C-alpha cells in the first residue's frame, strides 16, 4: 500500500459517545480513504470507549488501528504511542471528543505541499466552548511564530510534517497532566521551516464536554504553573535574547498566569492566594523582565509586577480594581509627552511601585470621557492621552484554556 498522506492520531479517555461523530468526520474526508491512517489509543477507559473504537474500526473505510492501554494520567502518552506508530507524511492530532471539518485534511495537506511548510493551522471553531480567534484574520501560505499571532494557539489539533517531528525528536512530555501540547506545538513552530494558516475554512471543531472529564477543565493551579515555566524555558533555550524572545514570553505570562490572578483570585481564600504566589515565584524570578513587562497593558503589568514581588495585599487591591471594571484616569505630564495611568498605589510611597509600571505607551484608545477632565474642551495633551492607554502590538490572547487551545 502507498504511504498514507496523513496519520490521524486520536487519544480517547472515557469518551463515549463522542468517538462516533469523531470517526464519522474522518470517514467523510475527501482524501482517498486508503491515503488516511487512523491510530486510536484508548488509555484506561471504563465506559466502553475501547469497545466503541473497535466496533467503529471494523466498519471504517480507512485503516484504523485501535490500541488499548492502562491510564497514562494525561494525553501525552497516548499521542506519543500514536506518533511512534504513524507512517503518514503528515500527522494530525484529533481528540476523540472533537471532529474534523469537511475537506479539512485535503485542504491542509494541499497547503503544506504547496507552501512547503512544516505546520499547518486550519481554522478551528468551538462547540459548547471557546476557541482561539486572533490568528484567523487571513489565510497565510507562509508565516512563522514571530510574524503572526499563531503563538496564541498551542493546542495539538494541527497538521505537522512527520519528518520534522522525527528529525528533531519532538514528542509530548508525558510527565505533564496538562500543558504538554503547548510545549510540543511551540517547539514545532520554532523548529519548523515555515507555518501556514487556513483562515477561511473550518478544519476542526473543538467540542466542549458537559461531563467534567475534559482534561483542560480539571487540575489545580499548581498543575498549570509548572508547564508555564517549562514553556518559558523552552522559548529561552531556542530563541536568542532580544525582542523576538520577549514577544514570545508574553504567551506563558498572559495565558497561564494572568487568569489565575484575575477576578477568580478574589474568590480564593487567603490561604489559597498565598499558595498561588509560592509556585509561580521560580518562573517570575527566571523569566520576568522589564523588556517583557513593557509589552503588556498597564493593568497586566501592575498585577504581574506585584506577583513577582509576592505582595499579596497590593495585588488584591489591583485585582479588585480590574474586576470592578474601573477605568484608570490618565495623568499627562511633560506637555503630554508622557502619560501615567492612575491605578491603585500609584505614587504611594509606602507601596513603592515605580512610576514606570503605570507609564502608558502610545497606540491604543483613550479612557472613557468620565475618566478625563472634560469640563473644558480637551487639550492637546488630553487628546494625546486618548492614544496612550495600553501597549501596542499584542494580539488578544486565545480564550482561556490552560493548555491553550
d(CA 352, CA 94): 49
Q: Tell me the C-alpha to C-alpha distance, in Å, between residue 245 and each of 127, 251, 281, 299.
A: 33, 11, 20, 22
Using DSSP, state whether 181 is helix, strand or coil.
Answer: helix
d(CA 191, CA 187): 6
- Short-list 60, 55, 59, 48, CA closest to 17: 48
Q: Which residue has the cell 480507512?
A: 62
Using DSSP, state whether 40 is helix, strand or coil.
Answer: strand
Q: Pairing relation of β-strands 338-342 and 329-333?
A: antiparallel
| Most distant CA atoms of the chain, gap in Å | 79
Using DSSP, state whether 97 is helix, strand or coil.
Answer: coil
Q: Tell me the C-alpha to C-alpha distance, in Å, between residue 8 and each of 4, 62, 229, 356.
A: 10, 11, 30, 49
181 given a catalytic annotation: yes
Q: Tell me the C-alpha to C-alpha distance, in Å, between residue 246 and each of 233, 239, 253, 295.
A: 12, 9, 11, 8
Using DSSP, state whether 10 is helix, strand or coil.
Answer: strand
| Backbone phi, psi, residue 264, to 5° | -65, -25
In eight-state DSSP terms, residue 257 is: I
Residue 234 host element (H or E): helix 222-238
Residue 316 host element (H or E): helix 312-323
Q: Prior bond to 17 cis, omega within 30?
A: yes
- Catalytic one of 97, 98, 144, 181: 181
Active-site amino acid positions:
181
Amino acid at each position: 500500500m502507498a504511504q498514507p498522506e496523513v496519520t490521524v492520531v486520536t487519544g480517547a479517555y472515557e469518551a463515549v459517545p463522542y468517538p462516533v461523530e469523531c470517526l464519522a468526520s474522518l470517514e467523510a474526508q475527501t482524501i482517498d480513504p486508503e491515503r488516511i491512517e487512523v491510530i486510536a489509543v484508548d488509555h484506561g477507559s471504563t465506559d466502553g470507549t475501547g469497545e466503541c473504537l473497535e466496533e467503529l474500526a471494523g466498519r471504517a473505510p480507512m485503516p484504523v488501528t485501535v490500541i488499548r492501554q492502562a491510564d497514562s494520567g494525561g494525553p501525552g502518552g497516548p499521542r506519543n504511542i500514536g506518533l511512534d506508530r504513524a507512517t503518514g507524511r503528515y500527522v494530525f492530532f484529533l481528540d476523540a471528543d472533537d471532529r474534523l471539518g469537511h475537506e479539512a485534511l485535503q485542504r491542509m495537506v494541499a497547503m503544506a505541499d504547496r507552501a512547503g511548510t512544516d505546520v499547518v493551522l486550519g481554522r478551528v471553531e468551538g462547540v459548547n466552548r471557546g476557541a482561539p480567534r486572533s490568528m484567523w484574520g487571513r489565510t497565510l501560505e507562509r508565516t512563522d511564530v514571530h510574524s503572526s499571532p499563531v503563538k496564541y494557539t498551542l493546542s495539538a489539533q494541527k497538521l505537522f510534517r512527520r519528518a520534522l517531528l522525527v528529525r528533531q525528536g519532538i514528542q509530548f512530555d508525558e510527565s505533564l497532566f496538562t500543558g504538554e501540547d503547548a510545549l510540543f506545538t511551540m517547539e514545532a513552530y520554532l523548529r519548523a521551516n515555515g507555518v501556514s494558516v487556513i483562515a477561511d475554512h473550518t478544519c476542526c471543531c473543538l467540542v466542549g464536554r458537559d461531563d467534567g472529564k475534559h482534561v483542560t477543565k480539571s487540575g489545580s493551579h499548581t498543575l498549570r504553573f509548572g508547564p508555564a515555566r517549562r514553556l518559558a524555558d523552552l522559548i529561552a533555550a531556542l530563541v536568542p535574547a532580544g525582542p523576538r524572545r520577549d514577544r514570545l514570553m508574553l504567551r506563558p505570562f498572559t495565558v497561564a498566569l494572568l487568569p489565575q490572578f484575575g477576578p477568580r483570585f478574589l474568590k480564593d481564600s487567603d490561604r489559597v492566594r498565598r499558595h498561588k504566589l509560592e509556585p509561580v515565584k521560580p518562573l517570575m524570578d527566571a523569566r520576568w523582565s522589564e523588556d517583557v513587562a513593557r509589552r503588556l497593558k498597564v493593568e497586566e503589568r501592575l498585577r504581574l509586577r506585584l506577583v513577582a514581588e509576592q505582595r499579596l495585599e497590593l495585588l488584591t487591591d489591583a485585582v479588585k480594581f480590574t474586576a470592578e471594571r474601573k477605568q484608570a484616569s490618565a495623568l499627562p505630564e511633560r506637555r503630554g509627552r508622557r502619560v501615567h495611568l492612575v491605578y491603585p498605589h500609584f505614587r504611594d510611597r509606602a507601596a513603592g511601585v515605580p512610576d514606570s509600571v503605570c507609564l502608558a505607551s502610545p497606540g491604543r484608545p483613550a479612557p472613557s470621557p468620565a475618566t478625563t477632565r472634560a469640563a473644558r474642551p480637551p487639550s492637546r495633551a488630553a487628546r494625546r492621552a486618548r492614544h496612550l492607554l495600553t501597549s501596542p502590538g499584542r494580539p488578544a490572547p486565545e480564550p482561556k484554556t490552560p493548555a491553550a487551545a
